[in-house]
Structure 1
């Protein structure tokens, strides 16, 4: 497939990196230095130019493109790129935007602006924050098959009861599969003999109920006050996160220092308690009993501010901290110094866009550990090598680095075991090592 990516920032480069081995990729950017760097670092055609100009798109063979992704840091530019593409091509267009109001305008008239699909970075990030905040000890969480299946990644601390158990010993859940383990820089495909160590990040796939049970068993946190949520910063992400919590029945607290912004969000969020204060004021935090919160979410405009707030919350005794980071290089640093989860909006956007490149192969994609592994959902068709085989037989047709985590059959969840048969029409959720992903997608 011929794919054109306009914008070679963090999002564009993440998408290009994911697609370069399996597609014909052209990347357009106005920055000559970035273009030169991509020419030598990736197997893509990097062009210097303006993606809103037809001559630049023609130089990228837009007439032959199947997909054009506009992911610069400017919402209006991305919309114009998609409109320009439609004058010269029938390519499917994706625009990345930050403003939810623009998304809502497009949703009111889908196909407007020449955009076939629109991805709102701030809304995606807010929804990720909500999903992760709902389970103790989670590093990542996502749902598949319309919510029937949940995938979650948990960090195992030294006090967790599953430490030093084998997967077989820890597996006491009726509808859950241990898929993989990240240990330092190593990715381990889970087998019955795999031993779970302190510090491991364990990926499980199964029914939402079983995953919640596992979360409560492995976490050493008090989950009785799971509704106590504090959001620091009424940035667009902070505001959207509060709205997500409200829509799911929570009554979060939101701290914002700017008077006008605090008033604005207070009027827009009737079930959120908005407090006007400096979130680094220790006396204020103590007076408002922030230490009793189940989770504190740092969503200020600035990585350093979010790090400071998260560390202060941790010092006060908050069980769990989630921080928004703009610089992906800070992710490991944040988690190393004790921040439970660092969420990068650009990475969330790249993940959402990448799933469109798998059209015809997969239903949904979730990237783990900065794309060291993926969890994918696909529907088995008559031509699939897995159709009519048991799990044991199917694994012989797949490369090492694959675990079948769950099967949906006719709307019912089937927990895969060795003799479980796979039939056409089944929806299968699979954990895959990124090194063998392309081979697996083609096999499916």
Structure 2
């Protein structure tokens, strides 16, 4: 497939990196430095130019393109790119937007704006944060097979009852599979005697109820096993949508916004949610509002430095969990090093969503793990699959090392795979797959 990606920022570069190995990728950007950097760092053809220009798109090979991805930082430019491409050719068009109103308009009439598929970074970020807030210790959550199956990555913190336990000891539910343990940057396929250590991240796949039960087991005594009250700091678009989703989940949400006019706007947008007009670094104000006693604080301010400052203050005041929206992936390690529990990057989430969509022909759905070093993949089993009419034990023997069959969705039921579970045509199989064996696995299944 020939893919033209317009915009070589964090989103565009992430998409290009994910797709370059299996597709012919051309990246277009106005910035000559970005173009030069991509030329040397990825196996792609990088071109300097304005992607809204028909001449630029034609120079990038528009007539032969199967897919156009518009991923600049400007919504209107992305819509213009898709519209321009459709004037002389008929590629499948994907546009990244931040504005939720544009996204809602497109959903009402898909293919509006000459866009075949639209990804709204604000909406998917708010959804990610809301899912993570709902599960203690989770750092990543995704759902498969029409939400019958859930993949969650948990951090095993100091003081967790799981520290020192083996997987065999921790496996207290029939609705869960332990897919991987991430330890010191290594991805380990676990076995029954694998022992949990503080700092491990464990990837589990199972029913939402089974995953939630495991979350409660993993929580230290001093942490809340359920989230009742959350502060959202920042009345940005993402902040507003996070607050709304949490409120709809029954969480007591309060939002802090320093700008008086914006605070008034947010209060109108969020009936039923308390909006506080104040500086979130004012410790006297925070103490009056019992900020430090909240279960979780989500920072969604307009830059990473402010988010870091408020997150650190929240932890110092006693908040159990800090989640921060970050604009630059370069800051992720810093945020985690100083105690921010979950940094969430809208650009990376958007890039993953677009890359995920382009690969749906092979994998119905996938979720990236640890900077794409592994994936959780959902496939539908057909007559040609190596899995057909084999037990899980037999299927695993046919697949490379680095694969775990985590769950099977059969009709409206989830089946927890055991060695003698037989896989049938039509089953949806959710597998953990290490990146270096991905192509071999998908070719077989």
Aligned partner of 1:210 in structure 2 is: 210
* Structure 2 Cα separation of the partners of residues 422 and 378 of structure 1: 12
Report if aligned partners of 1:251, 1:273 keep a CA contact under 8 Å in 2.
no
- Mapped pair 1:242 → 2:243: yes
* Structure 1 Cα separation of the partners of residues 176 and 226 of structure 2: 25
Output aligned runs, 1:22-171, within 5 Å. 22-171=22-171
Output one character per residue of 1:322-380: Cα deviation in whole Å (capped at 9) or x when no partner: 00110101111111111100000001101110112212211212112222221111111
Report if aligned partners of 1:22, 1:438 keep a CA contact under 8 Å in 2.
no
Aligned partner of 1:392 in structure 2 is: 393
Output aligned runs, 1:245-394, within 5 Å. 245-394=246-395
Report if aligned partners of 2:205, 2:211 keep a CA contact under 8 Å in 1.
yes
**Residues 243 and 189 from structure 1, CA distance in 2 versus in 1: closer, same or farther, beyond 3 angstroms?**
same
* Structure 2 Cα separation of the partners of residues 21 and 240 of structure 1: 35
* Structure 2 Cα separation of the partners of residues 174 and 271 of structure 1: 39
Q: CA deviation at 1:225?
A: 5.6
Secondary structure (helix, strand or coil) at the match of 1:381 reads: coil
Report if aligned partners of 1:148, 1:413 keep a CA contact under 8 Å in 2.
yes
* Structure 2 Cα separation of the partners of residues 356 and 261 of structure 1: 35
Secondary structure (helix, strand or coil) at the match of 2:424 reads: coil
Secondary structure (helix, strand or coil) at the match of 2:195 reads: coil
Structure 2 unaligned spans of 5+: none
Output one character per residue of 1:82-118: Cα deviation in whole Å (capped at 9) or x when no partner: 1111122221110000111111222232211110011
* Structure 2 Cα separation of the partners of residues 53 and 222 of structure 1: 54
TM-score, length-normalised on structure 1? 0.98
Secondary structure (helix, strand or coil) at the match of 2:55 reads: helix
TM-score, length-normalised on structure 2? 0.97
* Structure 2 Cα separation of the partners of residues 359 and 64 of structure 1: 21
* Structure 2 Cα separation of the partners of residues 439 and 214 of structure 1: 32
Aligned partner of 2:424 in structure 1 is: 423
When structure 1 is superposed on structure 2, of 334-343 and 100-109 the one drifting more is 100-109
Q: CA deviation at 1:249?
A: 2.9
* Structure 2 Cα separation of the partners of residues 88 and 431 of structure 1: 41
* Structure 2 Cα separation of the partners of residues 62 and 359 of structure 1: 22
* Structure 1 Cα separation of the partners of residues 439 and 255 of structure 2: 43
Q: CA deviation at 1:224?
A: 5.7
When structure 1 is superposed on structure 2, of 264-273 and 357-366 the one drifting more is 357-366
* Structure 2 Cα separation of the partners of residues 149 and 129 of structure 1: 19
Report if aligned partners of 2:135, 2:226 keep a CA contact under 8 Å in 1.
no
Aligned residues: 444
Report if aligned partners of 2:163, 2:198 keep a CA contact under 8 Å in 1.
yes
Report if aligned partners of 1:379, 1:426 keep a CA contact under 8 Å in 2.
yes
* Structure 2 Cα separation of the partners of residues 23 and 414 of structure 1: 34
Report if aligned partners of 2:136, 2:225 keep a CA contact under 8 Å in 1.
no
**Residues 71 and 211 from structure 1, CA distance in 2 versus in 1: closer, same or farther, beyond 3 angstroms?**
same
* Structure 1 Cα separation of the partners of residues 287 and 199 of structure 2: 31
* Structure 2 Cα separation of the partners of residues 367 and 246 of structure 1: 28
Secondary structure (helix, strand or coil) at the match of 1:87 reads: helix
Report if aligned partners of 1:252, 1:271 keep a CA contact under 8 Å in 2.
no
* Structure 1 Cα separation of the partners of residues 443 and 326 of structure 2: 34
Report if aligned partners of 1:7, 1:28 keep a CA contact under 8 Å in 2.
yes
* Structure 1 Cα separation of the partners of residues 249 and 378 of structure 2: 25
* Structure 1 Cα separation of the partners of residues 253 and 48 of structure 2: 46
Q: CA deviation at 1:169?
A: 2.1
Structure 1 moving runs of 4+ over 6 Å: none
- Mapped pair 1:18 → 2:27: no
Output one character per residue of 1:403-425: Cα deviation in whole Å (capped at 9) or x when no partner: 11100001101000111111110
Question: Root-mean-square deviation (CA), in Å?
Answer: 1.2
Q: CA deviation at 1:227?
A: 1.8
When structure 1 is superposed on structure 2, of 368-377 and 205-214 the one drifting more is 368-377
